[in-house]
Structure 1
Amino acid sequence: MNFNKLTIIASAAALSLGVTACDSPAEEAAEEQAEAMEDTADAMEDAGEITDEQADAMEAQADDIEDAAEGDTDALTEGVEEAVN
């Protein structure tokens, strides 16, 4: 899977979690998803599939997912805008 597909998937996931993350099970799921994204970014970087900057961007998106689950939608919006631009 290339970086652009991951960006789209992460953005969609972040947006959906921003709407539905109202209780602790959803927040826990978001944290698990974010951790999985960070692990994927690290693995892809280690394998030479993406650059350090791309891995950092993926990890920032993972942080945005966690922030959205906690109700911090400003950080979510900022992260999605960065991914699109």
Structure 2
Amino acid sequence: MRKFLYVFLVAFSMSLVLPSCREQKNDSIEDVADDVGDAAQDVADDVEDAID
């Protein structure tokens, strides 16, 4: 159940981040990947805190 929740939250956060990246052509792919990774980590931390 926990893994399913993590996967869902990561997919949801990516769906929020990626459309906004398409509008901005100045960002490099590495910056976008870092932003997605940071967002996924933040979501995972929030979920862990909520579960505890």
The two structures have a TM-score, normalised by structure 2, of 0.49
The two structures have a TM-score, normalised by structure 1, of 0.33
